Structure 1
């Protein structure tokens, strides 16, 4: 009789530990420093699909911006310089649903000579997931996919470099 009662108890303990483990793992994803950055997929200006999780293994500067945003315009040359001079992936997600049209994004990229990846958040879903307000907003993500720094407003090149060095 004791053996029959102990089996359900052991199964209950096993499933409790299993569920608690899964909840803890899920809680690690979020928008705070030390959290796993929420995954998403966007289409780039070049028409390619890019998923944030595909970039793991290398530091990522994830920036949210729009062409009409003066501080965004200010930081773009520094972001280009940062991409050129460091082993980092810059992914600039444009809030396309706030733009007049997609062509204005193309013109902006050409005007500034940007060569880093520009993702289009056409429906605002990525901005919603990352609770973007204000813009620009930048997340520095380490090679494991964890947020190591976030900034609201334009970042200077020197700050980009400092935050990258902290990740290494």
Structure 2
């Protein structure tokens, strides 16, 4: 009887281990398949599409590309200094950036430069608001056109693969950012 119990326990252990091993292998293959699926996604501005890549300069003349943040979750925020909802939103953006920058999350602020009086207004606003996240200048308006921005601010949430997971037109706050980020995990 004792040998039978040991054999049953041993057999159960092997079955459980086999099931665990099978689950591990299938989840690894599903991960590989999802990366392949991402490569086949259409580029666009709708949820579930790959976000259009762009390359713009920051106020120091340094080229910044969306591709620079591959593997990170990215909030792409289109804004202007004269826009009241943008001004209200910026402290929330800064706090969110500070809290999550070490967790592979970045905010890229895309200034709608053609709508500004001049570049110094943008620089003054950044200093006044003490913004430290990357801010680039859409001097020709090409990126805002590619992203079909019609309201200010507009924020796109991209997952680590560059897929659009959420889009907001109008100001959002810290709680909304956190809720969307939690939903992306």
TM-score by length of 2: 0.76
Matched, 1:77 2:107: no
Moved over 6 A (4+): none
CA distance in 2 between counterparts of 1:54 and 1:156 reads 26
CA distance in 1 between counterparts of 2:53 and 2:112 reads 17
CA distance in 2 between counterparts of 1:47 and 1:89 reads 20
Worse overlay, 42-51 or 99-108? 42-51
Unaligned stretches of 5+ in structure 1? 1-23
CA distance in 1 between counterparts of 2:143 and 2:73 reads 19
Worse overlay, 41-50 or 118-127? 41-50
SS at match of 1:64: strand
CA distance in 1 between counterparts of 2:60 and 2:160 reads 25
Matched, 1:150 2:167: yes
Alignment of 1:1-168 (within 5 A): 25=40, 28-86=42-100, 87=103, 88-168=105-185
User: By percentage of residues, which structure has more helix?
Assistant: 2
Unaligned stretches of 5+ in structure 2? 1-38
CA RMSD of aligned residues (A): 1.2
TM-score by length of 1: 0.83
CA distance in 1 between counterparts of 2:167 and 2:131 reads 22
Count of residues paired in the alignment: 144
CA distance in 1 between counterparts of 2:150 and 2:178 reads 24
C-alpha displacement of 1:47: 1.8
